[in-house]
Chains A and B, each alone.
Chain A
Amino acid sequence: MNEGAKQQQKYYIFLPSYITDHLPLVASLLNSLHSSQDPTTKLKVFDEDRSKFYLSQVLDALDDCHTNNILHRDIKPENMLIVSNGYLKLTDFGISMKLENVDECKARSGTMGYMAPEIIMAGCSHGKASEWFSIGVCTHEFLLGLRPFDAKKLAKCRAGIDDDLKAELTLKELEKCTLSDNAKDFVRNLVSLEVEGRLGTKEGSTELRNHAWFAGFDFEVVRNQTQKAPFLPDITVANCDTGSNDAEEMFGGMDDEKKISFTPEQQAKFNGYGYNTEIAK
């Protein structure tokens, strides 16, 4: 409640124009200063049950993608949305890909920090196993409040994984934390740098569901959405950081009509775009 009150407080600061002209930049700088990870600060996390609740649903969603031969390729907390009843929906298929096209695609896409080493590695194709890596990163983040690997260090995988790099990419937070051994084992096996031996490589999501950490977890109850979710969002507020929670400011940004005209060639690139679920039925 105190936290809520703090968020409501407003500060008015008058800044010179050389700062206000670059406000987004300044804001992101301040933000990064503020959130820089000091090991003594407390990190915000989900408890193990809440994490399992969310993860089980992500696994269900991913299974549906995979049976439709689609790789999501951008699994991260930002793309998991909470609906009014507290359950989860996976979103943002902007860089998803049909499984059969994966080999043609040599471009690395995804979000650094969540991307599996085999995607970062040049000329290496990826598959479902890469998604389990991202799931592991998310689990680590849910349970400990931060990602297992520093994105910059992980990016070094580009040149291949040698012993030096392995020594750099250790799971020090995970090993010394007070989580259950099963939780540690689950995360450790998912964020394995090599595809071989990674949880899920052999039998897909069933392997994850059958892990000891999920022992006693009722997937069916979550699937039926009969149980009350561990957290119910307040849907009367915006629930996002779009710069401001102020409704007026949010509306203000809606009608920024900038008239840009496109050439017929440019417009033609979008030909054929359209879908109507009522007709598709």
Chain B
Amino acid sequence: MICASHESLLGCQLESPMVYSPTMFLKIEKIPQQTSHPRTTTKLEHISLKFDFPLSNTAALPSSYRFIPHTHTHSTPSATKMNKEAIDITHFELERIIGQGGFGKVYACRKKSDAGKLSDKDEWYAIKKLEKDFILKSKTGVESVFTELNSVRDLIHKNICCCQYGFLSDDAVYIVLDIAFGGDLRYALKNSKKKVRLDE
């Protein structure tokens, strides 16, 4: 399984994700696009959103921002080195429940960019906590957990909740995905203002 090779890489030193400020976006805009990767090509269209939505300046940002600074990490004094032996749940601050699935709940969370500390600039993710207890009770549970990770990590598209991380704890399996704050279409339909009468 390909995951095995990732696991061996988990011990290496990495730059921690960048902290973003409005001035940095100006810098980003000037960077020529080095790849045709969908994540990088969609980044600029979202910038205006930062100012459109009151709740959180980070909420409206796509995770794509994280990938840009690799080209100029040296110019950021705020980026601290963090030893990521392995990513785990302690790197995330769970904020609220945003959904419920068969194996567990989905939380809105922020990834702590600085070890242990939380700042307003931390990025939002959806974290799906799948309880091992429930997974093992289901006949195809373990298989489906792997299927989900294997499928979703190949998919990079702006209309898909892409996978950012996957990891284990003693009692749960976690999968970190792009977040969507607007709810699902079932909920949107339920709250739609437009109505039809069927007996006409």
B154 touching A68, Cβ below 8 Å: yes
Q: Mark A237-277, 1 if CB is under 8 A from B, else 0.
A: 01111100001001101100011101000110110111111
Q: Which B residue sits closest to A79, measured CB to CB?
A: B184
B173 touching A270, Cβ below 8 Å: yes
B158 touching A225, Cβ below 8 Å: yes
Interface residues of A in 141-186 (CB under 8 A from B): 141-142, 144-146, 173, 176-178
B149 touching A96, Cβ below 8 Å: no
Interface size class of chain B, counting residues whose CB lies under 8 Å from the partner chain: 35 or more
User: A12 at interface (Cβ–Cβ under 8 A)?
Assistant: no
User: A9 at interface (Cβ–Cβ under 8 A)?
Assistant: no
Chain B hits for A226, CB < 8 A: 45
A145 touching B167, Cβ below 8 Å: no
B97 touching A250, Cβ below 8 Å: yes
Q: Mark B9-20, 1 if CB is under 8 A from A, else 0.
A: 110101001000
Bound state CA distance, A204 and B9, in angstroms?
Answer: 39
User: A92 at interface (Cβ–Cβ under 8 A)?
Assistant: yes
B176 CB to nearest chain A CB (Å): 9
B145 touching A77, Cβ below 8 Å: no
Q: Which B residue sits closest to A256, measured CB to CB?
A: B105
B3 CB to nearest chain A CB (Å): 5
User: B74 at interface (Cβ–Cβ under 8 A)?
Assistant: no
Bound state CA distance, A76 and B46, in angstroms?
Answer: 26
User: A86 at interface (Cβ–Cβ under 8 A)?
Assistant: yes
A278 touching B14, Cβ below 8 Å: yes
Provided the pairs A78-B186, A275-B153 are in contact, do residues A235 and B194 lie with their beta carbons within 8 angstroms?
no
Chain A hits for B9, CB < 8 A: 276, 279
Contact of B147 among A40, A78, A96, A142 (CB under 8 A): A96
Contact of B144 among A60, A95, A239 (CB under 8 A): A95
Provided the pairs A231-B188, A235-B55 are in contact, do residues A272 and B3 lie with their beta carbons within 8 angstroms?
yes
Best-buried of B42, B66, B171, B178 by chain A (most CB within 10 Å): B171
Q: Which B residue sits closest to A257, measured CB to CB?
A: B171
Chain A hits for B49, CB < 8 A: 84-85
User: B27 at interface (Cβ–Cβ under 8 A)?
Assistant: no
Bound state CA distance, A236 and B56, in angstroms?
Answer: 9
Chain B hits for A212, CB < 8 A: none
User: B25 at interface (Cβ–Cβ under 8 A)?
Assistant: no
Q: Mark B30-64, 1 if CB is under 8 A from A, else 0.
A: 00000000000010011001001111100110000
Q: Mark A57-79, 1 if CB is under 8 A from B, else 0.
A: 11011001100101000001111
User: A112 at interface (Cβ–Cβ under 8 A)?
Assistant: no
Provided the pairs A78-B184, A233-B181 are in contact, do residues A269 and B142 lie with their beta carbons within 8 angstroms?
yes
User: A88 at interface (Cβ–Cβ under 8 A)?
Assistant: yes
Chain A hits for B54, CB < 8 A: 236
A91 touching B171, Cβ below 8 Å: no
B165 touching A275, Cβ below 8 Å: yes
A44-52, A127-135, A188-196: which lies at the B interface? A44-52
Provided the pairs A46-B189, A235-B181 are in contact, do residues A240 and B98 lie with their beta carbons within 8 angstroms?
yes
Name A residues whose Cβ lies closer than 8 Å to a Cβ of B.
Answer: 3, 39-47, 54, 57-58, 60-61, 64-65, 68, 70, 76-98, 107, 138, 141-142, 144-146, 173, 176-178, 224-226, 231, 233, 235-236, 238-242, 247, 250-251, 253-254, 258-260, 262, 266-267, 269-270, 272-281
Give 15 pairs: A residue, B residue, CB < 8 Å, sorted on A. A64-B155, A64-B156, A82-B188, A83-B180, A91-B180, A94-B101, A94-B144, A94-B145, A96-B152, A98-B150, A98-B151, A178-B196, A275-B149, A276-B87, A280-B153
Name B residues whose Cβ lies closer than 8 Å to a Cβ of A.
Answer: 1, 3-4, 6-7, 9-10, 12, 14, 17, 42, 45-46, 49, 52-56, 59-60, 66-67, 70, 84, 86-87, 94, 96-102, 105, 107, 132-133, 136, 140, 142, 144-168, 170-171, 173, 177-192, 194-200
